């Protein structure tokens, strides 16, 4: 039995109980058994292995039941989903409001997924040392207002200036953590900041597009020098939702919408057109952010319509 710590697309690196790491492939039956996802095995999985004679290589023959996982539908794969990571204690969504700008719709789709799979999530606003102009300070205050109302904890971080890194390490200690976000938001630099061994590759922002360039190309789990594991992931351009979400239950995964839905006059209520809907009233009085409600409407409509409240 071992822990999957790296997935290169073809091979898997599995850490055994004695900390030895070996390269593994998938047994053919396991590949065929799970055809709904691009990867039957994900980083963070506990697996059983059939070793070769010298126990230098192996074949993964079984995946133990997962306590949770993060799954997304890549934009170029309409029929299959991809498991980003498994068996997670805490997820950190790393965002930036500039260089590059993380879109609110990406954030809300990600948070919906972690809510659905019962993964505690903290939002990291990285590169906080850059937020010096009035426009950026206002954008930061507005962002914090949106997600504080939704009940999410926000950490303001600077990997370059070592701001609040100790708070981040406290949350990560002795846990399996995962960093996710768009390319260029500084996930790998953060990992190197919390662990002095410089274990993750870093890159620069594209001057032409003010967006991130991929430096992490594989899904990989690192041992932390202060206890626990961190899973580094390639930067994500989008976060497609898988089809197994029922539209009439999606509001359950927006904590602030679910909170006010208990006071709706009609049950069930879609929170779109019904009279005396407590959710719509909460949007009117500012208790629910318009952006969150708008993204909820986009998701349940399953199209690109822009909603105005």
pLDDT of residue 26: 87
What is the pTM assigned to this prediction? 0.85
Last residue of a domain, one of 34, 63, 92: 63
pLDDT tens track for 3-56: 999 988 778 999 998 888 999 998 876 665 655 677 889 999 999 999 887 777
Residue 284 within a domain: yes
| Mean of pLDDT values over 91-112 | 93
Hunting for tokens 């620069």 — which residue is that?
204
Nearest-10 crossing angle of helices 290-301, 104-116: 70
Same domain, yes or no: 115 and 252: no
Same domain, yes or no: 83 and 179: yes
Same domain, yes or no: 200 and 87: yes
Same domain, yes or no: 47 and 74: no
On the question of pLDDT at 260 being above 70, the answer is yes
Highest mean pLDDT among 4-8, 166-170, 180-184: 166-170
Last residue of a domain, one of 207, 232, 257: 232
| CATH number of domain containing 177 | 3.40.50.300
For 91, 203, 205, 237, 279, the CA distances from 210, given in Å and listed in that order, are 26, 13, 6, 14, 37
Same domain, yes or no: 26 and 75: no
Same domain, yes or no: 76 and 199: yes
* φ/ψ (deg, to 5) at 259: -60, -50
Question: In which domain, by residue range, is 48 found?
Answer: 2-63
Same domain, yes or no: 225 and 117: yes
| Mean of pLDDT values over 233-240 | 66
Same domain, yes or no: 157 and 207: yes
Same domain, yes or no: 76 and 225: yes
| CATH number of domain containing 9 | 2.40.50.140
pLDDT tens track for 289-300: 999 999 999 998
DSSP string, 144-189: HHHHHHTT--EEE-BTTTTBSHHHHHHHHTTSEEEEE-STTS-HHH
Same domain, yes or no: 99 and 214: yes
Closest CA to 158 of 204, 123, 189: 189
Residue 240 within a domain: no
Beta bridge partners of 37: 81
pLDDT of residue 205: 42
For 13, 14, 22, 77, 150, the CA distances from 19, given in Å and listed in that order, are 12, 9, 10, 35, 41
Same domain, yes or no: 37 and 86: no
Residue 241 within a domain: no
CB of 15 within 8 A of CB of 54? Answer: no
Last residue of a domain, one of 24, 41, 63: 63
Beta bridge partners of 206: none
On the question of pLDDT at 305 being above 50, the answer is no
Give me the number of domains the chain comprises.
3
Same domain, yes or no: 217 and 269: no
């Amino acid at each position: 039995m071992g822990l999957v710590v790296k997935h290169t697309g073809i091979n898997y690196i599995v850490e055994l109980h004695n900390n030895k790491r070996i390269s593994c492939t998938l047994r053919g039956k396991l590949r065929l058994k799970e055809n709904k996802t691009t990867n039957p095995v994900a980083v963070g999985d506990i697996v059983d292995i059939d070793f070769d004679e010298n126990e230098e290589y192996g074949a993964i023959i079984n995946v133990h039941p997962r306590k949770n996982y993060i799954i997304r539908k890549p934009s170029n794969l309409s029929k299959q989903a991809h498991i980003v990571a498994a068996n997670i204690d805490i997820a950190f969504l790393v965002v930036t409001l500039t260089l590059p700008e993380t879109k609110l719709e990406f954030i809300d789709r990600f948070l919906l997924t972690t809510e659905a799979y019962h993964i505690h999530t903290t939002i990291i606003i990285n590169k906080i040392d850059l937020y010096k102009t009035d426009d950026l300070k206002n954008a930061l205050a507005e962002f914090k207002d949106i997600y504080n109302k939704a009940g999410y904890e926000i950490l303001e971080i600077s990997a370059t200036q070592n701001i609040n890194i100790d708070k981040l390490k406290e949350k990560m200690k002795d846990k399996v953590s995962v960093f996710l976000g768009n390319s260029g938001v500084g996930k790998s630099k953060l990992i190197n900041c919390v662990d002095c061994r410089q274990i993750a590759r870093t890159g620069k922002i594209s001057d032409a597009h003010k967006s991130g360039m991929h430096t992490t190309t594989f899904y990989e789990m690192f041992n932390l020098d202060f206890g626990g594991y961190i899973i580094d992931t390639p930067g994500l351009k989008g976060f497609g939702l898988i089809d197994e979400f029922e539209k009439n239950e999606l509001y359950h995964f927006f904590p602030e919408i679910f909170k006010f839905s208990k006071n709706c006059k009609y049950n069930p209520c879609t929170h779109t057109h019904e009279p005396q809907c407590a959710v719509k009233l909460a949007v009117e009085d500012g208790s629910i952010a318009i952006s969150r409600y708008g993204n909820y409407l986009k998701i349940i409509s399953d199209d690109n319509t822009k909603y105005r409240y």
